[in-house]
Amino acid sequence: MSLLQIHEPGKTPQPHEEKSVAIGIDLGTTNSVVGFADEKGVRILSIDGHNLVPSAVGIKDKNFVIGKDALKLRDSNPQDVITSIKRLISSSAKEIPYFNHKIENKEQDAMALVKLEDQILNPVHLSSEILKYLKNKVNDKVENQINQCVITVPAYFPESARVATKDAAKLAGLDVLRLISEPTAAALAYNLDEAKEGYYLVYDLGGGTFDITLLKMSKGVFQVIATGGNTSIGGDDIDFEIAHNFSQNLKDLSQSGQKKLLQISKEAKEFLSQNPDRLWKNGKYKLSYNDLEKLSEKIVSTTIKGVKNTLIDAKITEISDINEIILVGGSTRLPSIKNALKDYFSKEPLCSINPDEVVALGAALQARALTHGSDKLLLDVTPLSLGLETMGGMIEKVIPRNSAIPCSIAQEFTTYQDGQNALSIHVLQGEREMVDQCQSLGKFILKGIPPMSAGMARILVTFTLDADGLLSVTAREKTTGIQQSIHIKPSYGLSHEQMATMLKESYEHAEEDVKQRLLTEACVDAQQILNVLTTALENDRDLLSEAEFDQIRTTSNELAALLEHPALEDRNKVVGVTKNLESLTQEFAERRINKAVNKALKGSEI
């Protein structure tokens, strides 16, 4: 069996090139972790004596402080410290739960900004400070400087968040060899390619995000066949529920009061996860494990529903087809989560590797594979469909959700109007059928199309996703060869709430969406016939008798009236009247063709 080593364009190493060294980074919502793999094996690199570095950034005396030092600063100056930065990346939300800093957003599509001391910062800058800190701490301990890495991202991260993560790494002076999904990294850490072939489900509940990935293992090939989850739930939400239980007026507390209560709630959750038979107490607050189960019940059930939806997406009908369930993320230490998964799958989930460290270990193994070669092939997938806008405000999906990446898919399009010499390419991401229900990623215009009749031009649009899941789109007119392209650097405008609800809405509105698309397609076809008919009547009205003209005009007016405010149930009526009009104008079209032929042959000898 031959395996393919994937390299980005222009980055294929020369045969004599010395092999470099790279690290794996789990850039988490709550904590960040660095892994390293060499000939001796794979391990976590401790930073200042700790494997977990809090993903916190603060400013003291105009200098950045990171990690545990930032948390210490938070005790005295909470307004100068930012946590849960990952929840802000790619978000334009004006308010994010559990985030207690003012978020400034002057433009609708701009990335959310936060203020520390007198500095206005965005999450890319804040994340870069964490990455820079990790890089510098690692380089203080090693002989050869390390500037390359593999960074993990949630499987559900949209295009904008992936771009933002790479931008943060670049600011930190790191060359990102690959972005891989966190659940996929966990599968690498468990060496699942050495297990029996079949399906493996990775359940990843971190501090701020929830990811599900379904993997298929076959002859050393990792293929992600489905992803799911929710970027707006995590262990932080359980902390919030506990804190709200302790104080019904949580939002009325000061920033320092909120953060202190949330920290107490986190300690209660962690204590009871390890000691479910004991009662937790702290001053006037107390909590039992039964209380904890009730407070986390809604979140746990939401994650199980997400698991079910992912299996449906993958067309897995038998639960027994899943070989193993792998737990990732510190929040999976909660016994109720393990019990819920055990009840659903009728088997114990895998949790032999520290769930806080497993993702970084997998990233380190991937970094080693990319710099030293590997006999394993990793095929990731795109979490949401990618496509472009067509007439009527519909989206044509070019790369469907759960397509293996890297990939390149081309599709042919054409013009809608006679003489059209330009085409607007509007690139979108999402699962619904209409443009206003999906997320815009970027636009460009292909100019210089030769004037032709509508539908005659042939424009090849190619969508290319690289190994990091980043998109480029090219449009080429096949007659002239002119082309335009765009590398999608999306506006940072997809909120976590939008991302979390996209798939849910696609399921809930599936039937309605299909009806809306069928109606829109019928209306677009009908309008095009009316446009052509209008031009034909202006030029060749004399080819029709008064009776024929009146009949065509009556039917075209009926169709135009239908198109003014069509309801979903009007689709069949629109199709019927359109076919009637086509039938009435067929002989008129033949007369026009004969007239054009006679004109062309006039004065010629045959």
Three-class DSSP category at 183: helix
Q: How far from chain centre, in Å, is Cα 497?
A: 12
Q: What is the mean pLDDT of residues 232-242?
A: 88
The residue ranges of every structural domain in the chain are 22-380, 382-493, 497-605
**In this model, does residue 52 exceed pLDDT 80?**
yes
Is the per-residue pLDDT at 60 higher than 70? Answer: yes
The answer, yes or no, to whether residue 6 has pLDDT greater than 60, is no
Q: pLDDT confidence of 98, banded at 50, 70, 90?
A: very low
- Across 74-88, 156-170, 290-304, 373-387, the highest mean pLDDT is recorded for 290-304
The CA distance from 58 to 81, in Å, is 4
pLDDT digits (tens, 9 = 90+) for 398-447: 888 767 777 888 888 887 777 788 888 888 888 777 887 787 777 788 88
pLDDT band at 234 (very low <50, low <70, confident <90, very high): confident
CA atoms within 13 A on the CB side of 437: 21
What percent helix, strand, coil does the chain show, rounded to 5? Answer: 40, 25, 35
Q: State the pLDDT confidence band at 504, using cuts at 50, 70 and 90.
A: low
Tell me, rounded to whole angstroms, the distance of Cα 90 from its chain centroid. Answer: 11
b/e map 76-91, b = 16+ CB within 10 Å: ebbbbbbbbbbbbbbb
In the predicted structure, residue 343 carries a pLDDT above the cut 90: yes
User: What span, in angstroms and rounded, lies between the C-alpha atoms of 273 and 457?
Assistant: 64
Predicted confidence (pLDDT) at residue 448 exceeds the cutoff of 60: yes
Residue 377's pLDDT band, with cuts at 50, 70 and 90, is low
Position 383 scores a pLDDT of 67
User: Model pTM?
Assistant: 0.59
Overall average pLDDT of the 15-40 stretch: 82
CB of 533 within 8 A of CB of 585?
yes
SS3 175: strand
- Residue 153 near residue 227, CB atoms below 8 Å: no
Q: How confident is the model at residue 219 (pLDDT cuts 50, 70, 90)?
A: low
At 17, the pLDDT band (50, 70, 90 cuts) reads very low
Q: What is the pLDDT of residues 384-394, one digit of tens each?
A: 788 888 887 87
Percent share of the chain, pLDDT over 70: 83
Q: What is the pLDDT of residues 449-463, one digit of tens each?
A: 888 877 788 888 888
Q: Are strands 148-153 and 22-27 parallel, antiparallel or unpaired?
A: parallel
Nearest to 424 by CA among 409, 437, 435: 435
Digit-coded pLDDT (tens) for 284-323: 899 999 999 999 999 999 999 999 998 988 889 898 899 9
pLDDT band at residue 498, thresholds of 50, 70 and 90? Answer: low
pLDDT interval class at 97 (50, 70, 90)? very low
- pLDDT grade for 169, boundaries at 50, 70 and 90: very high
The residues annotated with a catalytic role in the active site are: 26, 86, 182, 204
The yes-or-no answer to whether 382-493 and 497-605 have a common fold is no
Confidence of residue 469 (pLDDT cuts 50, 70, 90): low
Q: What is the mean pLDDT of the chain?
A: 80
CA 13 to chain centre: 30
- What pLDDT is recorded for position 582? 86
Under the banding of pLDDT at 50, 70 and 90, the label for residue 66 is: very high
Structure token pair of residue 340: 């819920």
Q: Which residue do the tokens 């994650």 mark?
A: 303
394 Cβ neighbours under 8 A, 6+ residues apart: 433, 434, 435, 517, 520, 521, 524
Q: In the prediction, which pLDDT does 492 show?
A: 39
Query: What superfamily does domain 22-380 belong to in CATH?
Result: ATPase, nucleotide binding domain (3.30.420.40)
Alpha-carbon distance of 224 to 199, in angstroms, equals 10
Confirm if 61 and 398 have CB atoms less than 8 A apart.
no
Task: Give pLDDT, residue 378.
Answer: 58
Give the β-pairing of 422-429 and 459-465. unpaired
Asked if residue 505 has pLDDT above 80, the reply is: no
pLDDT band at 24 (very low <50, low <70, confident <90, very high): very high
| CB distance 92 to 105 below 8 Å | yes
CATH of 497-605, one of 1.10.10.10, 3.40.50.300, 3.10.20.30, 1.20.1270.10: 1.20.1270.10
Structure tokens at 461: 């649009």
Q: What is the DSSP string of 228-261?
A: EEETT-SHHHHHHHHHHHH-TTGGGS-HHHHHHH
Fold entry, domain 382-493: Substrate Binding Domain Of DNAk; Chain A, domain 1 (2.60.34)
**pLDDT band at 69, cuts 50/70/90?**
very high
Peptide bond into 406 cis (omega under 30): yes
Question: Which one of 11-25, 113-127, 556-570 scores highest in mean pLDDT?
Answer: 556-570
Give the span between the Cα atoms of 233 and 135, in whole angstroms: 29
187 vs 383, more confident: 187
State the pLDDT confidence band at 113, using cuts at 50, 70 and 90: low
